[in-house]
Structure 1
Amino acid sequence: MKIIRICVWRFDLPLTKPYWLSGGRLKFEALDSTFVRIDTDAGLSGWGEGCPWGNTYLPAHGPGIRAGIATLAPALLGRDPCALEAVNRAMDTALPGHPYVKSAIDMACWDIFGKASNMPLWRLFGGETADPVAVNSSISTGSNEEMIALIRDAYAEGYRTHSAKVGGSDPARDIARIEAIEAALEHDETVTYDVNRAWTPAVAIQVLNNVGLRGWVEQPCQTLAQCAHVARRVRQPIMLDECLHSFEDHLEAWKLGACEGVKVKPNRVGGLTKARQIRDFGVSVGWQMHIEDLGGSALADTAAIHLASSTPAENRLASWLCHHHLAIDPVAGQGARNSDGFAVPPSAPGLGVAADVERLGDPVAIYS
């Protein structure tokens, strides 16, 4: 089987309401998503999606994906899409770095591999059954009252795990915010306080040593070294996210004892192939993991849910579904969706989701 064509679409995904993180310093209103379809000479096609969360959250942006695919395409045409490791080596040779560029290609190849094997991705990733995956809400920065109202709305939709955005240079404000949220929780709820790198180490230590909470603290500071410094001086479990871009970063985090868990996001680390390697490492060292993607429609969400579902329950935390925040749905009725706080991956061969070409419109590029 050989790749004969790569089609690329650009698609805007507006959010239902503006979203703030990092203590309100970063605002997002729409996402720039790239959909990819890989066609083969065997008549099988695979779909992938790459969608950075804006262009200020990480060193990634939507136009960069499409420019990178133009660079990668000549190295991919004629290759066997089922040879996943070889495909990834070819991409890393043709374009060192830029992992976010490669995720949609890798996802589409996994979709083809699953169809050729007549197995869903969760099975190929090691799962025995399509285990339901708990889903978590994502609560934008706002006033204490606004954030608590959003948590109560999410609870009514089945969410029992929440990610609340905090952070900034005012320790007293964050202490008050965390205390207010904790006091408003039901007995079966937990909150991860996601700082998105917005604290200095001193502020992180001051805030966390003055609050009691039942959940996690995520990415308190900018760098891995800073987060490791904080982790040694507070009692709350630390979750790392934005400072981990490669397997080597995850290995270093483990060596430093910088965290008890990580977020594994295929688009950030280069695709499902590399996300699975990191997931397996996390299992081996006893981490707990949120497995979810950076952004995108239910297509990208479903790929991550396949990987999450196949992860041992003791290592698996809840997954965020970006499509919950979108005003439009380019894969309506398909994929893993929230059903009373859980999402189940499809059991059809491959990804189990295909974009509607008529909805996407004309491709912005075709490589053949």
Structure 2
Amino acid sequence: MRISRIAVWQIELPLTKPYWLSGGRLKFEAIDSTFVRIDTDEGVSGWGEGCPWGHTYLPAHGPGLRAAVGVLAPALIGRDPRALDEINRAMDIQLPGHLYAKSPLDIACWDILGKTAGAPLWRLLGAEQPAAVAVNSSISTGTPEEMIALIKEASSKGYRTHSAKIGGSDFSADIERIEAISAALPKGEQVTYDVNRAWTPGVAMQVLNAVTARDWVEQPCETLDQCALVASKVPQPIMLDECLHSFQDHLEAWKRGSCQGVKVKPNRVGGLTRARQIRDFGVSVGWQMHIEDTGGSAFADSAALQLAATTPDANRLASWLCHAHLGIDPVPGQGGRNRGGLVHFDDRPGIGITPDPSLLGEPVAIYGGGA
């Protein structure tokens, strides 16, 4: 089996309402997603999706992803897509770095592997049966009253874990948010305070040493160095996200005692092949992990959450569903969806989703196949 063609689609995914994070300094109204389909000479095709969360959240953006796929595609045409390690080595030689652009190609190869093996992704990733994955709400920055109302709305949809977006230069406002949310949190529910790197270390220490809450605090500062300093000075467990891209970043975070948990996002780290390596490392060192993707439709969510479904209970925290925030659904009715606060997977081979090209529009690029 050899890769014969790679087709690329671009689709804008509007959010149902504007979304604020990082203390309100970052606003999002739509995200730019890229679907890829890898075709083979044996008639088996695999799909992948890559969707940065805008262009201000990480050093990643939709046009850059598609440009990088154009550079990577010639190195993949003619290769066996099931040889995942070789596929990733070929991409690394062709274009060092740019991990977010390699993710949809890697995921499409996993999809092909599953289809040819007649096995769902979760089985390829090592599970006898997939765990039911708890879903994690995402609460936009606002006043304490606004955020509490959003948490109550999420609770009515089955969410029992919430990610409350805080952060900014007014640390007294963040103290007020944290104390109010912690006091109002329904019994049996949990919250993570996600700063999205908005604090300086000094502000982080002032806030976290002033509040009574001992909940998770995510990505308090911009860099790993800053977060490591904060982790050594505050009583809350620290979760890292945006400052971790490569396996080496995760190794360094562990060596420095910078956190007790991480978010593992296939799109950020280069696809499922690398995300699984990082997940396995996290299990070995005792981290707890939210395994989800950076953004995208139910396709991207389903690929990431099948990795979550193969993670030991002790290490698996709830997962966010980006598609729950979207105003359109390019893969209607397919994939992992929130059912009473949980996502379940069946035994459909590969990712278990086949996008309809007619819903994606015309391809913006085609590589190989005489194109």
Please classify the TM superposition score into its range, dividing by the shorter chain length: over 0.9
- Aligned ranges for residues 235-314 of structure 1 at < 5 Å? 235-314=235-314
- Measure the CA separation in 2 of the matches of 1:287 and 1:128: 22
Report the equivalent of 1:155.
Answer: 155
C-alpha root-mean-square deviation of aligned residues, in Å?
Answer: 0.6
2:328 partner letter: I
- The answer on whether the counterparts of 1:330 and 1:359 sit within 8 Å (CA) in structure 2 is yes
Question: For 1:101, what is the secondary structure of its paired residue?
Answer: helix
* Number of equivalent positions: 368
Report the equivalent of 1:362.
Answer: 362
- The answer on whether the counterparts of 1:5 and 1:366 sit within 8 Å (CA) in structure 2 is yes
- Aligned ranges for residues 35-54 of structure 1 at < 5 Å? 35-54=35-54
- How far residue 128 of structure 1 moved from its aligned partner, in angstroms, is 1.5
Report the equivalent of 1:181.
Answer: 181
- In the alignment, is residue 234 of structure 1 matched against residue 204 of structure 2? no
Report the equivalent of 2:32.
Answer: 32
- Measure the CA separation in 1 of the matches of 2:346 and 2:191: 28
- Measure the CA separation in 2 of the matches of 1:337 and 1:23: 29
Report the equivalent of 2:219.
Answer: 219
1:299 partner letter: F
- Aligned ranges for residues 1-368 of structure 1 at < 5 Å? 1-368=1-368
Question: For 2:13, what is the secondary structure of its paired residue?
Answer: strand
- The answer on whether the counterparts of 2:214 and 2:237 sit within 8 Å (CA) in structure 1 is no
Q: Deviations over 1:146-203 (max 9, x none)?
A: 1111000000000000000000111111001100111111111111000000001011
- How far residue 346 of structure 1 moved from its aligned partner, in angstroms, is 3.4
- How far residue 214 of structure 1 moved from its aligned partner, in angstroms, is 4.5
- Measure the CA separation in 2 of the matches of 1:228 and 1:61: 28
Q: Deviations over 1:101-127 (max 9, x none)?
A: 000000000000011111111111111
Question: For 1:174, what is the secondary structure of its paired residue?
Answer: helix
Question: For 2:335, what is the secondary structure of its paired residue?
Answer: coil
Give the alignment's TM-score, normalised by structure 2: 0.98
Q: Structure 1 vs Structure 2: percent identity of aligned residues?
A: 72
Mark the runs of 5 or more structure 2 residues left unpaired by the alignment. none
- Measure the CA separation in 1 of the matches of 2:364 and 2:98: 21
- Measure the CA separation in 1 of the matches of 2:39 and 2:209: 54
Mark the runs of 5 or more structure 1 residues left unpaired by the alignment. none
- How far residue 361 of structure 1 moved from its aligned partner, in angstroms, is 1.2
- The answer on whether the counterparts of 1:191 and 1:214 sit within 8 Å (CA) in structure 2 is no
1:333 partner letter: G
- Measure the CA separation in 2 of the matches of 1:210 and 1:340: 35
Q: Deviations over 1:292-323 (max 9, x none)?
A: 00000000000001100001111000000000
- Measure the CA separation in 1 of the matches of 2:324 and 2:316: 20
Give the alignment's TM-score, normalised by structure 1: 0.99
Question: For 1:119, what is the secondary structure of its paired residue?
Answer: coil
- Measure the CA separation in 2 of the matches of 1:116 and 1:95: 28
